[in-house]
Each structure stands twice: as structure tokens, then as C-alpha cells.
Structure 1
Amino acid sequence: MAKVGDIYLECFVADGTGKVTFEQHIVRTIRGGYVHAIQKSICTWGKLSKKHGDYGWLPSIDPMWRTKWRVGEKPPPKLAKTKAQAIRAEIANIKRWAEDDDYDDGITVASIVKKLEGMLKRERP
């Protein structure tokens, strides 16, 4: 069950370059029977005033940065509690949907899956 402040990770492979990044989604509120998580990025988190150390959630966060799911249910498949789970989810996603045409010359789906599996090996204890 999710609590306010929980951090979920999403693994993402950029089309074109094949660069792997991790994005944080932080549970901000639980209300109305829903868990509301917001992706922490430059558009959602930043300096609020001229005061030293005054960082926080920026006002008016666009819906494209938000994710919600019902309380008691699992979060969307793209979100995971650990890096290893996030990598596994992205490997499954790439194997199912990606094509070699999505990436620049020399980068194939097989090479990206191999890179992700190497990252997964390093994540496991």
C-alpha cells in the first residue's frame, strides 16, 4: 500500500539514441480513493523563492507529469519500487513494442535489451 512520500521509479529508453534514464515519481497525496504521484523533474520541482534552500513542488503542475491509481491497487506497470523491477518492466516493454527503426544507425533492439540485462545483473545483490 502506498504512503505519501513513497518513491516509484520508471526506466526509460530514449528513441533515437537508446540512452537509458530513470525517472522518479513521488506520491504526493492520497485522497478521494486515489493515490496521486508526480514525476520529479525540472518542470515540477525547483526553487520557490529567493530564500536559501527554499526548494519544493512548483505551483500548477501540468497533468502530463501526474499519475494516479486507486488505493489498494497496484501502481501502473511502468512504475516500480526498485531499480531492478523498473529495468525488468522496460525490458518487457522493449521486447513487445520496440523496432529497430526507432533508433539511430548501429543501435538495435537486441543491443538495448543486452544493455538493460547488464544493468539488471549489476543491480541484483
Structure 2
Amino acid sequence: MSSIFVLDQDEALDFYVGKLGLEVNTDQDLGFMRWLTVNVPGQPDRTILLEKPGPPSMDEATAERVRELLTKGAAGGWLGFNTDDAYRTFEELKAKGVEFTDEPTERPYGIDFGLRDPFGNAIRVRQVAG
């Protein structure tokens, strides 16, 4: 499992499920927190926890610092996804209103492009050469 911080889990669901096309794996209210995970369709063993900074993993002062860093795009969270067709995926995401940090670029290992989620987490999408 991977974990990234998000400021609003409902907004995160809209982005990761509604725009990127992931599926909800678990959405459970534990009382002290909401356990919300998503995964690439057909890959339920590789989940991403969309975690709000705060208890139980950190105190409120630490959570506030993490929220501040996240808002500035400096929290360091990032995800990577593979695709069979980087250009097609880019156009599909663009049509859904996703904002990009860079367009598809040919590199020695394949083609990739970058975007950020609404909270500042970096995402790379790549098509491996082969």
C-alpha cells in the first residue's frame, strides 16, 4: 500500500475516481478517522490510502504543518502510473479538466507526463518503451 496526504477526502475521491479512473477499494468510517483507499481497476492488492493529516498518526500541531507543506506543493507525496498509450491517456485526462505540470515527452525509457492532484501531490504517467 502507498499513502498520500489529502486535505479533503471527498474531493480526493472526485479526482482519483472521477478523473483518473481509479476505483474505491475501502471507504470505512473508523470513528477516529476515515480509512479511504483506491486502486487501479483490477489491481486491488496495490492500494493508495488517501489520508487526511491528523490523528491518530500525528498530533494537531504536526498535522497543521503537514497541511501547510501540502498546500505549498512541498509535502513530497507522489504517485506513478503506467499506461499503454501516453498520448491517448493525456488527451482523456485533459478532456476531464486535469491540470498538467508537463506534456507527454519522449525519454530513453518511454513516454511520460506529469500532473498534480488538487492538493499538490505529484503524479507521473508513463508508457514504457518496448
Bigger-Rg structure (1/2): 1
Task: Say yes or no: TM over 0.5.
Answer: no
TM-score normalised over the length of structure 2: 0.29
TM-score normalised over the length of structure 1: 0.29
Answer 1 or 2: which has greater strand percent.
2
